[in-house]
Amino acid sequence: MNFPSRLIENAVNEFAKLPGVGRKTALRFVLHLLKQSDSEVAGFSETLRKLKQELKQCKNCHNISDHDTCDICSSHRRDHTLVCVVEDIRDVMAIENTQQFNGIYHILGGIISPMDGVGPNDLNIESLVEKVKREEIKEVIMALSTTMEGDTTNFYIYKKLSPYTVTISTIARGISIGDELEYADEVTLGRSIINRTLYEKNLKNDSQTR
């Protein structure tokens, strides 16, 4: 593409670096911004500048936060003996949206994946072990993706935490709500039979969730 202006070319190049954005979409974004008022584009620019400069990481759970300790870790209404281990902040947001969890989180910042060159030392695993060692943690809930990498990470953390007196659990794997049995894969279906729950308990859960 030949651009009539270097400024536009630069902006297109920046947008095209975003995941899933090609140069045509990037140009569409830039032309859209050109139609906006000066103050709006300046606001966008300023927001991006602040995003990286002012954002902090919670020193307790590694969550992204405006302060040194995030809202969840500094809340006295949360159960600080219950730690949910997740991959990144999107998972925190997803679990928070369910309103079913009242403990605190621990964000790994990724998942063990030798294919992508991510080893245990690249993740916030040591600080989790330290937390379990020092603080009074009753249960660690592993809430990672149900992939090979997720399972590997689960097992690694399980081994690391086994010397300490802490319950380690994983989130339930089973048939998604709304799914049809015949289309479920064998492993999921098999696990859902092994880990079956009492119907009475389900009824109680349903009335809480819906």
Task: Confirm or reject binding of residue 5 to a copy of itself (CB under 8 A).
Answer: yes
How far apart are CB 179 and a copy of itself at their closest, in Å? 21
Helix (H, G, I), strand (E, B) or coil at 195: coil
Among 83, 84, 85, 92, binds a copy of itself (CB under 8 A): 92
* Listed residue (124, 121, 83, 126) closest to 105, CA to CA: 83
| Cα–Cα dist 161/120, whole Å | 14
Full DSSP string of 9-28: HHHHHHHHTSTT--HHHHHH
How far apart are CB 192 and a copy of itself at their closest, in Å? 28
Q: Tell me the pairing of strands 167-170 and 139-142.
A: parallel
Among 59, 66, 68, 102, binds a copy of itself (CB under 8 A): 66
Task: Confirm or reject binding of residue 2 to a copy of itself (CB under 8 A).
Answer: yes
| Cα–Cα dist 187/137, whole Å | 32
Which CB, 16 or 175, lies closer to a copy of itself? 16
How far apart are CB 132 and a copy of itself at their closest, in Å? 23
Binding piece for a copy of itself, criterion CB under 8 A, among 35-43, 76-84, 166-174, 179-187 = 35-43
Q: Are 125 and 131 in contact (CB under 8 A)?
A: no
Q: What is the DSSP letter of 179?
A: -
Q: Are 80 and 103 in contact (CB under 8 A)?
A: yes
Among 77, 97, 185, 199, binds a copy of itself (CB under 8 A): 97
Binding piece for a copy of itself, criterion CB under 8 A, among 5-13, 78-86, 124-132, 158-166 = 5-13
Task: Confirm or reject binding of residue 71 to a copy of itself (CB under 8 A).
Answer: yes
Task: Confirm or reject binding of residue 55 to a copy of itself (CB under 8 A).
Answer: yes
Torsion angle defined by CA atoms of residues 7, 10, 12 and 13, in that order, rounded to the nearest 10 degrees: 170
Task: Confirm or reject binding of residue 50 to a copy of itself (CB under 8 A).
Answer: yes
Backbone phi, psi, residue 139, to 5°: -140, 140
Binding piece for a copy of itself, criterion CB under 8 A, among 34-42, 120-128, 154-162, 181-189 = 34-42
Residues found near a copy of itself in the complex (CB under 8 A): 1-8, 10-11, 14, 18-21, 25, 27-34, 36, 38, 41-55, 63-66, 70-72, 88-90, 92-93, 96-97
